[in-house]
Amino acid sequence: MAERLPKALIHRNVPGERIHALLATFDAAWQSAAALASYGPRQRWAAAAARLAADGWPVVDRPDRWRQGELTVRWEAVSP
């Protein structure tokens, strides 16, 4: 996911920054969805995105977008 960050956030992916917290939370969600790996990366990604939303991150898109590998979070949550 980090490869798709806007340029304004790429160099801010360090401990203490909000974008780093988002990526760390998503990494934990990805790990917790490991049991779904046998169903393919789309199912695992969607489960991780759902957990990210459940953890309180302002995810603005829907599960049908997650299955396409997309994830959108409000800018205010990660802005430098």
pLDDT of residue 7: 84
DSSP at 36 = G
Which whole number is the average pLDDT over 49-74?
92
* pLDDT over 80 (residue 41): yes
Q: How confident is the model at residue 39 (pLDDT cuts 50, 70, 90)?
A: very high
Q: What domain range includes position 46?
A: 37-80
Judge whether 29 lies within some domain.
no
Report the predicted TM-score, pTM, of the whole model to 2 decimal places: 0.87
Judge whether 1 lies within some domain.
no
Judge whether 19 lies within some domain.
no
On whether the CB atoms of residues 71 and 62 are closer than 8 A, the answer is no
CA 39 to chain centre: 19
Judge whether 50 lies within some domain.
yes
Judge whether 3 lies within some domain.
no
Which whole number is the average pLDDT over 43-71?
93
